[in-house]
């Protein structure tokens, strides 16, 4: 059987990982500044993470959501404490798209409305409603386009209000720092006004923290930079350090009823063990602090490099903006094949994305910029 050919892939086969590095079959070491797309939060194959998962699978890997599972409450408690969102309720699922799909459905149940507002260049996943609120027609099939969604420019508060005045909007979904789109953020004024308008028009505010959450920006959640209280927060990527797990944090004002949401695999024992291990390591190794410190260091160094036009993002969710003289896709390939460094791209083709594990050190940052300079000079000459 052939694999369904939907991914553009590099000629590179990592088979092993350790903290900030992955290794191919020849033992060649690659510095991972991509974290498998912002997924690796505590570093590859962290010993505590391995132990937690191993001992859980020896005991019980899975049972359905029809039985008592104290490990889910253990995860919810640890997440509530570390994120300062103790009051929220947690629904567990398996991916970012699924988290957003459930969030949109929940908002529609709660408000009994069906329209959604989303923003230009946003990305929320590929399931039916999640892709319908994603600003990319190329990845929407006709079936997805049946959802009712208005896409508005990020920051256009008057447009948002005009739409909300129609009284049909169940939810506004937003990435407080856009990931795939290219690290754009709006202003404190816009975010504050958005939260107020949502309350005023009985519309739920969904913070998509699938990429920006779990300490990636230096705060546990990106919205915490703005003092906002979202109605719903969605999480995934960094949550399981690679183990598939996602979640929806739900404000206490939103009440559950039996059968409102559900999943077979969501919140299984193994995924919860992985999720708890991640939070334990984040706390013990003070990874939020590290994301802040190293993120600031990356910005300082990058701002001194003349060929980097702009540095976008927060913490370890960084976009380096290049000028038209260089093709970022070629630069990434050069970094990977010649210098053994993994980096990321964005919808904006002039951006190189840096999304490393939160364990990164200054020494590794210095190594990257040294190699980036060499790769840049070579690519300019071609
Ligand atoms: C902000 C955001 N939301 C949702 C998703 C979808 O997550 P998943 O690929 O786990 O479905 C992504 C994935 O890149 C994302 O960046």
Residue after which a domain boundary falls, among 284, 300, 330: 284
Q: How many CA atoms lie within 13 A of 325 on its CB side?
A: 11
Ligand 1 atom at minimal distance to the Cα of residue 95: 10
* Per-residue confidence band for 381, with pLDDT thresholds at 50, 70 and 90: confident
- Note the pTM of the prediction, 2 decimals: 0.98
Ligand 1 centroid to 277 CA: how many Å?
Answer: 22
Q: Are 129 and 202 contained in the same domain?
A: yes
pLDDT at position 287: 98
Q: Are 303 and 334 contained in the same domain?
A: yes
Is residue 36 one of the residues assigned to a domain? yes
Ligand 1 centroid to 99 CA: how many Å?
Answer: 9
Ligand 1 centroid to 118 CA: how many Å?
Answer: 15
Nearest CA to ligand 1 atom 8: 96
Looking up residue 350, the CATH number of its domain turns out to be 3.90.1150.10
- C-beta of residue 100 within 8 angstroms of C-beta of residue 210: yes
Ligand 1 atom at minimal distance to the Cα of residue 236: 10
Q: For residue 140, count other CB atoms closer than 10 A to its CB.
A: 17
Q: Are 190 and 258 contained in the same domain?
A: yes
How confident is the model over 163-211, as pLDDT tens digits? 999 999 999 999 999 999 999 999 999 999 999 999 999 999 999 999 9
Mutate to test the pocket of ligand 1, among 39, 92, 124 (most ligand atoms within 8 A of CB): 124
Mean pLDDT of 320-329: 96
Is residue 292 one of the residues assigned to a domain? yes
Residue after which a domain boundary falls, among 253, 284, 315: 284
Mutate to test the pocket of ligand 1, among 41, 92, 94, 96 (most ligand atoms within 8 A of CB): 96
Is residue 5 one of the residues assigned to a domain? no
Looking up residue 58, the CATH number of its domain turns out to be 3.40.640.10
The parent domain of residue 67 ranges over 47-284
* Per-residue confidence band for 127, with pLDDT thresholds at 50, 70 and 90: very high
Q: Are 109 and 230 contained in the same domain?
A: yes
Residue after which a domain boundary falls, among 284, 303, 321: 284
* Per-residue confidence band for 152, with pLDDT thresholds at 50, 70 and 90: very high
* Per-residue confidence band for 289, with pLDDT thresholds at 50, 70 and 90: very high
Q: How far apart are CA 85 and CA 235, in angstroms?
A: 13
* Mean pLDDT over the full length of the chain: 97
pLDDT at position 382: 80
């Amino acid at each position: 059987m052939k694999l369904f050919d939907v991914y553009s892939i590099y000629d590179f086969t990592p088979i092993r990982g350790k903290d900030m590095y992955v290794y191919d079959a020849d033992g060649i070491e690659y510095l991972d500044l991509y974290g498998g797309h912002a997924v690796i939060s505590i570093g590859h194959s962290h010993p505590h993470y391995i132990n937690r998962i191993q001992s859980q699978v020896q005991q019980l890997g899975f049972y359905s959501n029809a039985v008592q599972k104290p490990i889910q409450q253990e995860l919810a408690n640890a997440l509530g404490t570390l994120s300062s969102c103790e009051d929220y309720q947690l629904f567990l699922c398996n991916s970012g798209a699924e988290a957003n799909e459930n969030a949109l459905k929940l908002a529609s149940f709660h408000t009994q409305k069906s329209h959604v507002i989303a923003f230009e260049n946003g990305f929320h996943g590929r399931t039916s409603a999640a892709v319908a609120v994603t600003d990319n027609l190329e990845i929407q099939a006709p079936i997805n386009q049946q959802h009712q969604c208005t896409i508005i420019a990020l920051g256009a508060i008057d447009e948002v209000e005009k739409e909300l005045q129609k009284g049909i909007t169940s939810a506004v979904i937003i990435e407080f720092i856009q990931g795939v789109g290219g690290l754009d953020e709006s202003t404190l004024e816009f975010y504050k006004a958005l939260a107020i308008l949502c309350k005023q028009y009985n519309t739920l505010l969904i913070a998509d923290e699938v990429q920006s959450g779990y300490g990636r920006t230096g705060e546990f959640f990106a919205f915490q930079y703005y003092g906002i209280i979202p109605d719903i927060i969605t999480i995934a990527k960094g949550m399981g350090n690679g183990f598939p797990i996602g979640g929806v944090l739900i404000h206490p004002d939103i009440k559950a009823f039996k059968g409102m949401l559900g999943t077979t695999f969501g919140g299984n024992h193994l995924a919860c063990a992985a999720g708890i291990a991640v939070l334990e390591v984040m706390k013990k190794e003070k990874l939020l602090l590290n994301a802040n410190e190293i993120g600031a260091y990356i910005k300082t160094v990058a701002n001194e490099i003349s060929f980097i036009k702009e540095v976008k993002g927060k913490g370890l969710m960084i976009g380096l903006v290049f000028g038209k003289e260089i093709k970022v896709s070629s630069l990434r390939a050069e970094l990977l094949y010649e210098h053994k460094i993994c980096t990321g791209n964005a919808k904006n083709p002039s951006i190189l994305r840096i999304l490393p594990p939160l364990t990164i050190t200054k020494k590794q940052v210095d190594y990257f910029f040294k190699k980036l300079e060499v790769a840049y000079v070579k690519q300019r000459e071609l």
